[in-house]
């Protein structure tokens, strides 16, 4: 077992929304004894199988990366396609069932104790052969135990060396940092609960208990956004090898012609002149009000989402300065940092603009206000770590063991509203 006293587990074969909720489950201290890591480095797996095609994909992955103990989550119609000796769960997946399966998996990962030899009650002509087989089996078990201990010792030494290298750049070990972050989040939740308890509210009628506690229920939705919104903000791009030029191209994109840089120019022009600025060329009113540090807009949310991914041609979009006493249309007002944060997430979708680098060390100067800003998965942990030490996005993803897309989305949004040290 690793130095952190937790077994490593990876997830493969799940859709983007299921994978996001499982990441919340594992990183929310509900999977006791396990920590989530990339599947290639995990000592066990949680596998999703929904049909023959997905089963074939999983088998191909295992063939390339090696087999290991696993839990299979299957549709009722696909249950017979999974090895009966595996730990098998049938959808709909419940939290209690998953926790029990993890407990069973943990027992499989722990080396079994050598069974006590029981004396034969009857002497038979085959008793000598039986004793020989028992002795051979005991010797094989002993060799297996010694090999496992040697492997654990090597892994422990390797982890210790990595921890020592990490301490040269960071004052806390990773497990200590995660513990501090978790304690801080729990403390914030307690404060919010205390504040809510002080306000008298009418208690709703208790709803009948659900037949099964779904893993995708509200209880496990730590992010304040839906699974669909997580995909809109963070995309579904898998982790890539940034040392490979081919894979690197999948992560980076150009901001040319997109709405986001025009919004930033609009704010810069307004702050410099002190006069309202209008973004011309979009369907609807979009004004920046420098006196209020906010935007006035009457654009539908779905349309705004589409505009963030539209590439405008030459002269299709521009800025128009308005006088302070000019009549402005009706619309809703949004704080500038809130709108800019959301537009940056919608634009990036888990990728990086070519103006940012995943390898450049950065230090978060100001913590994001998640009471107002859209909170993506792992955003608080990412912010805590980036606020404590100058690190690159690649460092953050590796140290927290989270998907690159969550770190990249946070980087683009935080950079857009100027939270990093210059």
Q: What token pair was written down for 17? A: 């929304």
pLDDT of residue 148: 58
Sorted by where each begins, the domain ranges of the chain are 7-109, 259-416
Q: Is 396 helix (H, G, I), strand (E, B) or coil?
A: helix
Question: Which residues 6+ apart lie within 8 Å of 77 measured at CB?
Answer: 51
What span, in angstroms and rounded, lies between the C-alpha atoms of 119 and 166? 53
Residue bearing tokens 């104790």? 113
What span, in angstroms and rounded, lies between the C-alpha atoms of 243 and 239? 12
Task: Label residues 79-106 b or e (16+ Cβ within 10 Å = b).
Answer: eeebeeeebbbebebbbebbeebbeebb
Going by the DSSP 8-state scheme, the letter that residue 66 receives in this structure is -
Going by the DSSP 8-state scheme, the letter that residue 48 receives in this structure is E
Backbone phi, psi, residue 310, to 5°? -90, 135
pLDDT tens for the chain, 422 residues: list them.
Answer: 544 578 888 888 877 767 777 887 787 767 778 888 888 888 888 888 877 767 777 777 777 777 788 888 887 766 665 665 568 888 777 778 888 888 888 888 886 444 444 444 333 444 455 556 566 666 656 655 655 565 555 455 544 544 444 443 333 444 444 555 555 556 656 665 665 555 554 444 444 444 333 333 333 333 457 888 898 999 988 999 988 888 899 999 999 999 999 999 999 999 999 999 999 999 889 999 999 999 999 988 888 889 999 999 888 899 999 998 888 888 999 999 999 999 999 999 999 999 999 999 999 999 999 999 999 999 999 999 999 999 999 999 999 889 999 999 999 999 999 999 87
Q: What token pair was written down for 102? A: 């993890």
Backbone phi, psi, residue 290, to 5°? -60, -30
Q: Measuring CA to CA, which residue among 237, 255, 246, 249 is closest to residue 404?
A: 237
CA distances from 81 to 39, 241, 325 (A): 22, 33, 71
pTM of the shown model: 0.50
pLDDT of residue 121: 37
pLDDT of residue 48: 83
E strand or H helix at 58:
helix 52-65
What span, in angstroms and rounded, lies between the C-alpha atoms of 44 and 272? 56
pLDDT of residue 160: 53
What span, in angstroms and rounded, lies between the C-alpha atoms of 197 and 335? 29
Which architecture characterizes domain 7-109 according to CATH?
Answer: 3-Layer(aba) Sandwich (3.40)
């Amino acid at each position: 077992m690793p130095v952190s006293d937790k077994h490593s587990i990876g997830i493969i074969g799940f859709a983007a929304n299921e994978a996001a909720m499982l990441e919340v489950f594992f990183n929310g201290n509900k999977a006791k004894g396990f920590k989530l890591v990339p599947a290639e480095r995990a000592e066990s797996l949680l596998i999703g199988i929904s049909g023959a095609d997905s089963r074939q994909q999983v088998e191909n992955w295992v063939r390339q990366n090696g087999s290991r103990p696993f839990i299979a989550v299957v549709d009722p119609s696909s249950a017979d396609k999974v090895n009966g000796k595996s730990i098998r769960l049938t959808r709909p997946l419940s939290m209690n069932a998953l926790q029990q399966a993890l407990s069973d998996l943990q027992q499989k990962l722990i080396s079994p104790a050598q069974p006590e030899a029981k004396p034969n009650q009857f002497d038979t002509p085959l008793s000598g052969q039986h004793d020989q087989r028992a002795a051979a089996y005991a010797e094989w078990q002993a060799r297996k135990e010694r090999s496992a201990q040697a492997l654990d010792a090597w892994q422990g030494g390797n982890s210790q060396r990595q921890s020592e290298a990490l301490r040269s750049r960071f004052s806390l070990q990773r497990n200590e940092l995660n513990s501090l972050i978790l304690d801080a989040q729990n403390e914030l939740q307690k404060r919010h609960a205390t504040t809510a308890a002080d306000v008298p509210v009418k208690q709703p009628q208790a709803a009948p208990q659900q037949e099964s506690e779904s893993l995708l229920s509200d209880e496990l939705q730590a992010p304040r956004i839906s699974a669909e919104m997580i995909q809109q903000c963070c995309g579904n791009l898998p982790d890539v090898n940034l040392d490979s030029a081919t894979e690197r191209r999948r992560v980076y994109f150009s901001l040319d012609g997109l709405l986001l840089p025009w919004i930033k120019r609009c704010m810069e022009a307004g702050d410099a002149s002190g006069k309202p600025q209008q973004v011309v060329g979009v369907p609807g009113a979009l004004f920046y009000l420098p006196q209020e540090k906010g935007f006035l807009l009457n654009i539908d949310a779905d349309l705004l989402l589409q505009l963030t991914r539209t590439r405008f041609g030459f002269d299709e979009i521009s800025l128009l300065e308005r006088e302070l006493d000019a009549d402005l249309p009706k619309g809703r007002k949004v704080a500038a940092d809130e709108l800019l944060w959301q537009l940056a997430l919608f634009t990036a979708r888990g990728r990086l603009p070519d103006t940012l680098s995943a390898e450049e060390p950065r230090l978060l100067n100001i913590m994001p206000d998640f009471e107002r800003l859209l909170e993506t998965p792992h955003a608080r942990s990412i912010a805590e770590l980036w606020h404590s030490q100058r690190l690159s996005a690649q460092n953050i993803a590796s140290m927290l063991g989270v998907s690159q897309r969550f770190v990249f989305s946070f980087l683009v949004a935080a950079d857009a509203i100027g939270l990093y040290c210059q």
